[in-house]
Amino acid sequence: MTRLDERPPATATRPRRRRGLRRWVLGVLAVLVAALLFGAYGWQPAEADFRSSYLAKMGSRYADTPIARFHYIKAGTGSPVILISPGGTSVIGWKEQVGVLAKDHTVYVVDLPGQGYTSLKDPDFGYDLDAMTSAIGSFMDAVGVRQAALAGNSWSGGWALAFAQRHPDRVAKLALLDATGLDLPGTWMWEALKVPAVGELAVKLASGRSMARSTAEAMMVNKKLITEDLLDEWWAPSTFESNIRATVLLERRLDWSKTESALPSTKTPTLVLWGKQDTVQPVERAQRFADLLPNDQTHILEGCGHAPQLDCPTPVNRHLQTFFTD
C-alpha cells in the first residue's frame, strides 16, 4: 500500500502531461496536413458523365491550333462577334445572347484553354495574360477572322481587354461585363486559391454539383433562372482535371496591373456593363473602368449579379445589340 509521502511529486507529473498533450496535438496536425496534401495532390474528383443538350442543339465545332483544340459554337451571318466563355464555365455562359446577336452578326462563342470543352495541346502553356491573349489570337486565325468585336464576362472580360490592348487593330469593339482587369484583390475565397495546397483542394471541392449550385445562387440575383439544365451545363466542365488545374494557375498568374496601367491608352470603343448586386466584383469597379477608359459607355444594371448575361439577359441583349450594330 502506497503511503502519501511516497507518491511522485506533482511537479514531476505536469511535464509528462504537457509532453503527452504536445504529442497528441502534433499527431492531429500531422494527420490534418497529410489529409490536406492528399486532397490537394493525390485525390482527383470524378469527371461528370454528362451529355450537353445545349451543345447537341447548337452543334459543337473544333478549331485545331498548336496551342489547343478550341471548342466553339457559331451562328448567324454578318460582321464577326466573338463571345469568350466566362472564366470557370463554358459556352453555356452566353446562351441567351447567341440567337439575338446572330440576327446581325456571325457569332462565335469560344472556350479558351482551361474553360469548357477546349483541350490544351501546348505543354508549356503558361496560364497568364500572355498565354490567354495568344490563345484568342490563335483561335481568330484558325477560324479566319482578322478583326472582330469581343465580349467577355469576369475573367474572360479581362482576357478580352488585354487582347485589345495588345492588338488594337484586331478588335473593332469591346464589351466588358463585370470584368476583371483592375489591379484590385478578389474576394477572400479567390485570394485563398493562391495558397499552395489550399487552392488545389478548394477548387476540387468546389467542383461538386451542390457547390456549383451554391456558386450560381451567390452570383445571380434572379435565382428562378437557375434551372437544373443550366446547372448541369455550368457544372460539368468544372469537373475536368485540366480545368481544375487551370483555375488554380490562372488565379495565381494573372497580373491585372498590366491591364489597369494600360487603360488610359486603350482607344477601342468599350461597353462596360455591370450588375449592381455583383458579389464578386463590386459595382464600384465599373466606375473605375469608366474613369480610366477614354472611349467607353458604362451602364449599371439594377437587380443583376456577377453574370448579367444570364441573370438579366433582356437589358444585356439590348445594350449589346445597339453597341455592336452602331
The pLDDT value given to residue 39: 75
Which tens digits make up the pLDDT trace of 273-325? 999 999 999 999 999 999 999 999 999 999 999 999 999 999 999 999 999 99
Q: Does residue 232 belong to any structural domain of this protein?
A: yes
Whether 256 contacts 158, CB under 8 Å: yes
CA separation for the pair 294, 297 (Å, rounded): 10
> Worst-scoring range by mean pLDDT, 23-32, 55-64, 177-186, 304-313?
23-32
Residue 249 lies in a domain: yes
| Helix (H/G/I), strand (E/B), else coil: 122 | coil
Q: Is position 11 within any domain?
A: no
The pTM assigned to this predicted structure is 0.91
- pLDDT score, position 142: 98
Supply the pLDDT for residue 94.
Answer: 98
What is the extent of the structural domain holding 126?
53-325
Residue whose C-alpha cell reads 470584368 in the numeric block? 179
> What digits encode the pLDDT tens for the residues 102-146?
999 999 999 999 999 999 999 999 999 999 999 999 999 999 999
Q: Map grid coordinates 473593332 to a residue.
A: 172
Q: Which helix (H) or strand (E) holds 149?
A: strand 148-153
How many CB atoms sit inside 10 A of residue 238's CB?
Answer: 25
Range 12-33 average pLDDT: 75
pLDDT tens digits, residue range 47-89?
888 999 999 999 999 999 999 999 999 999 999 999 999 988 9
Predicted confidence (pLDDT) per residue in 213-271, tens digit: 999 999 999 999 999 999 999 999 999 999 999 999 999 999 999 999 999 999 999 99
- The answer to whether residue 304 sits within a structural domain is yes
DSSP 206: T
Q: What percentage of the chain reaches a pLDDT higher than 70? A: 95
Residue 109 domain-assigned?
Answer: yes
Residue 170, CB half-sphere, CA atoms under 13 Å: how many?
20
Report the pLDDT value the prediction gives residue 2, as an integer from 0 to 100: 47
CATH number at residue 183: 3.40.50.1820
Rounded CA gap, 184 and 194, in Å? Answer: 15
Which is more confident, 38 or 82?
82
Whether residue 11 is predicted with pLDDT greater than 50 in this model: the reply is yes
Number of domains in the chain: 1
pLDDT at 10 over 70: no
Helix-helix angle 155-166:129-142, to 10 degrees: 80
